[in-house]
Structure 1
Amino acid sequence: MGVVTSAPQSVWSLAAPLLEGPVWVAHDAALWFVDIKGHKIHRYDPETGDKRSWDAPDQVGFVLPAARGGFVAGLKTGLAHFDPETGAFTQLVDPEPEKPGNRLNDATVCPDGRLWFGTMDDAEAEDSGAVYRLAADGDCVASTPFCSITNGPAISPDGRTLYHIDTLGGLIFACDLAPDGSLSNRREFARIPNEQGYPDGPTVDAEGCLWVGLYKGSAVRRYSPAGELLETVEFPVDAITKIAFGGPDLKTVFATTANKHLTPEEKAANPTSGDLFSFRVSVAGVAGTLVREGV
């Protein structure tokens, strides 16, 4: 029996080029996410329906709440601190100053408060992106082989397995994650043929299962910790970029989508493409962790 208890429905009509990076911020009781190509940060309160937006100075791949307050934002120019009270961005570190064609794309926070994030070729052609860990001293440590479009990472609830994705290659990898932040035993977790969609942002639930959005696949997939496909959630739009678990019980799933790949005629025929969606599940997500190290 599946864990999905309701069908995905649009909850914020944005028709955005590339929504990404949904994260439930418990102390704010709200979902935060970004529109990468639209240079926007969005906040959605499902209880009141309140919607707020901020302008970013460039492409922004993610925002994650920081223990010091505010957020760590992944900009094209590197990591920055974002203060929603003032709308100000303060540069922290550029992990790849020698790669001006790259941008930051996706991220997560380990249970111990470490930030993990990926970079990618903005032109989606060169194998120039990698997954990095932000160290306590502010250095960015490259931790995976390079590929064109990295997505993730996501980290298991026990903090011992890190998943990351080579989107164009259709590959999901799992690695053993040591307490010191080092990765080992990198292995193929799942493979998705391109004709079924491109694996995008990954997220884990409380049972340790991995949820993966499919770009041009019209679905989200749920995999067991062993890599077995357990469930597929069909969407009325074709590009689902990532999900996040939210709400008081962490059983409301929010999904970001995109329409940048559609023609004007296709956008008109698919008006909810690029919207924020939600649906309910019977298995909770994992409570988010604040970024505590290196910022």
Structure 2
Amino acid sequence: MTGRKIHTVDPKTGDKTVLVEVEDQPNGMCFAADGALIYSSMFDTKLYRYKDGAKGRVSLDDTGARVLHGQDPGPGRLLRIDPDGAVSSVEEGIIFPNALCISPDGKTLYNAETFGYGLHKFDLGDDGSLSNKQKVWAAASIAGGATGKFVDIDGGCMDAEGGIWLSLLALEQFARLDLKTGTITHRVKVEGHATACTLGGDDGKTLYMLTNWVPEGEDLFTAMVALKTRCTVSAARVDIAHGDAQP
């Protein structure tokens, strides 16, 4: 984000190449069904498509506050962007929404509430509408009941069996949650804030993990703005492939 670039990384060599520069600061991104890259630009509040492709519906989280610039977390919302570019708010009052995932059958949307310390699910209609909101898990449940500024979920992704990998920021781990039982089945511990993850590779069984290291004693957001953080992309092999979940 603060580097204002989107990179591609060769997983075999670690070499990175600038794909596109985003002056207004890139944030979330995903690949459309046709392989086109969709990415958000924070400060001009727009979505962009890298290279043309077929149009489809996009779900987007609006965090509701510029926490990188000193604002306290506040109520955000979930947006639906239709193929014609029309934007609709489909859910309000979420404290810093994050980690949007759609189940393999396309019928359920999951959303982390980063500063609400929980994971929610919604029934997802064919028209992109949301209903029947339920809280299905809380990050504090594996933190000894602790709550705090960063005992929360940042990014996430789903696998073919409907399990969801969660980036547990200050707990410094990526954990797979079995949504059927509510239990953690796998963990990958890291050094630094567990920020984002996605499943990929030739067989969909490589978990790519982004970890953000912050200098000791410094505030995360202040350090990010000052370009003092260091991000690392690492990978781990997992048992269950990506499948048809989104992203």
TM-score after normalising by structure 1: 0.67
Letter in 2 for 1:150: P
Whether 1:52 aligns to 2:17 is yes
Distance, in Å, in 2 between the alignment partners of 1:259 and 1:245 is: 22
Of 131, 153, 166, the residue aligned with 2:78 is: 131
Deviations, residues 92-120 of structure 1 (Å, cap 9, x unaligned): xxxxxxxxxxxxxxxxxxxx942111111
Closer/same/farther in 2, CA of residues 204 and 217 from structure 1, 3 Å limit:
same
Of 200, 205, 208, the residue aligned with 1:254 is: 208
Instruction: Name the SS for the 2:109 alignment partner.
Output: strand
1:228 alignment counterpart = 182
Of 229, 237, 256, the residue aligned with 2:191 is: 237
Of 256, 264, 283, the residue aligned with 2:240 is: 283
Distance, in Å, in 2 between the alignment partners of 1:37 and 1:227 is: 38
Instruction: Name the SS for the 1:283 alignment partner.
Output: coil
Q: Is the 8 A contact 2:61 2:98 kept in 1?
A: yes
Cα drift, residue 180 of structure 1:
1.5
Give the stretch that moved more between structures: 126-135 or 161-170. Answer: 126-135
Distance, in Å, in 2 between the alignment partners of 1:232 and 1:141 is: 36
Structure 2: 5+ residue runs without aligned partners? 141-146
Cα drift, residue 149 of structure 1:
1.5
Q: Is the 8 A contact 2:160 2:245 kept in 1?
A: no
Structure 1: 5+ residue runs without aligned partners? 1-35, 85-111, 291-295
Distance, in Å, in 1 between the alignment partners of 2:246 and 2:157 is: 13
1:130-169 alignment runs, 5 A limit: 130-169=77-116
Q: Which runs of 4+ in 1 moved over 6 A?
A: none
Q: Is the 8 A contact 2:177 2:184 kept in 1?
A: yes
Deviations, residues 48-82 of structure 1 (Å, cap 9, x unaligned): 54411243112211233356875322011223325
Whether 1:79 aligns to 2:46 is yes
Compute the RMSD of aligned alpha carbons. Answer: 3.0
1:208 alignment counterpart = 162
Closer/same/farther in 2, CA of residues 83 and 169 from structure 1, 3 Å limit:
closer
Letter in 2 for 1:177: L
The count of residues paired between Structure 1 and Structure 2 equals: 225
Letter in 1 for 2:184: L
TM-score after normalising by structure 2: 0.79
Letter in 2 for 1:122: R
Identity of aligned residues (%): 27
1:115 alignment counterpart = 58
Instruction: Name the SS for the 1:143 alignment partner.
Output: strand
Distance, in Å, in 1 between the alignment partners of 2:159 and 2:242 is: 4
